[in-house]
Amino acid sequence: MPSKFKAAAVTVALGVAFNFTSVGQAFAVWCSADAPMVYQNLLTNFMPFVTKLIGGTGLSTEDAIVQSGAAIRGELLKSTMANKSVAEGIEAYEQQEALRNRAQDLSEAMQQPATTCQAMATANSLSAADQSTQVSTLRSQRKVLSKVSVAGNTNTLSAVDSSYRASNANFCSIEDQVMGLCTVKTGGQYANLAGADRDAMTLFQSKDGSSSFEGNGAAQAEAADYYITRVVGGLPPQALQQQGEDYYKKNPQARAYVELSRRYNAMLSMGAYSLNQIKEMHRTQTGLGDDTMLATVSVPGFAANKADMSMAEAVERFVATKFSPDSVKDLAKATKPNLILRDMAQMNAFSLWMSYQGMQQSQRVGALQAHQLALIAEQTLRPQLEAQRVAAARSIAQGR
């Protein structure tokens, strides 16, 4: 190989290697201003230095070029392998993250239809249950008022005896048994209803804590009817014997008694309506648990596989599922906003429904307060009014 070519080859090889260093890069920038002059300097000044350097190592020019190229290739290979490892690590991490997100997305995709279906089933079934409750309230109202009205009581002793025998037969309490009046029921649908016809808890819950009535929706509701009758009616006045229209036309005192009895019934209807609303909210409705998809909920304290339940218990279970640990955890680990936004929309709709129920309850409370105000006003003003009527009647008689 000609000496000039060898020198040029060595120079190029060393220049390439030198170019990978920061010093070489700075040198390249400095040299770029005048390429011809740099080339001339390489041939006249730098080449003798390189030749002397190689000669000092005992290597030939060809061996120096081979080793220099091998070193360059080794460095390039190590850099390539390092970059490849980094790229593979990043790719593996991205794939694992994609798989994790996909699994979470699939879980949310499966959970969302179930949540939506449950909310829809609950909403539809509660609407139907609410309508059924109102109809049942109407029937219960008529039933209770027929018992406590003056017209329904033609024999006071017979009415009292009938209520007495009903309590002994079905709702005998421990106190009654001690007195020797009856025997407490230990089996059948009245087993857990001792004294229920005189206990306010009968209206709100069963003795086991459930919001639904015991006894297949009939026994505790029957006890509630007797309780409401006692509270509202007490002992209704006995009706006048049937005398015909002529009797009332000729007897103003009888007409006044009839009108006062009507007013008595009107007063009683207000309290009876509110108590009947409470009773019907807790009356067990067949299949309501299955219809609302709330027969089994993963919340501690609620019985599983409960197909029949009251409207009050269905609402209680639905609220419990929304605030259960599992529900909160599922929303906390959600990766997409769809699940959270839809759940918020469902809860807003349910909140609106509960606000409407609260408004109805407020109306009943307001009516009871108005009833109480009317009674207070009558107790205060009625004696004065009657005294003034008597005084006016006397003045008229004296003026004649």
Q: How far is it, in rounded angstroms, from Cα 98 to Cα 216? A: 53
Q: Residue 147 has what pLDDT?
A: 81
Q: How far is it, in rounded angstroms, from Cα 328 to Cα 102? A: 21
Looking at residue 152, its amino acid is G
Locate the domains of the chain by residue range.
1-102, 118-333
For residue 397, name the pLDDT band (cuts at 50, 70, 90): low
Where is pLDDT greater, at 238 or 108? 238
Question: Please, where are the H alpha helices in the chain?
Answer: 3-19, 22-31, 35-41, 47-57, 61-148, 156-170, 174-178, 219-228, 245-250, 252-281, 288-291, 311-322, 325-332, 337-399
pLDDT digits (tens, 9 = 90+) for 158-216: 888 888 999 999 999 999 999 999 999 998 889 889 999 999 999 888 888 888 988 76
For residue 351, name the pLDDT band (cuts at 50, 70, 90): confident
Position 43 pLDDT exceeds 60: no
The predicted model gives 277-301 an average pLDDT of: 87
Q: Residue 71 has what pLDDT?
A: 75
Position 311 pLDDT exceeds 90: no
Q: How far is it, in rounded angstroms, from Cα 358 to Cα 36? A: 95
Q: How many CA atoms lie within 13 A of 70 on its CB side?
A: 6
For residue 349, name the pLDDT band (cuts at 50, 70, 90): confident
Mean pLDDT of the chain, nearest integer: 77
pLDDT digits (tens, 9 = 90+) for 223-261: 999 999 888 877 777 878 777 788 888 888 888 888 888
Q: Is 172 exposed, middle or buried (0-12, 13-18, 19+ CB in 10 A)?
A: buried
Position 1 pLDDT exceeds 50: no
Position 13 pLDDT exceeds 90: no
- pTM > 0.85: yes or no: no
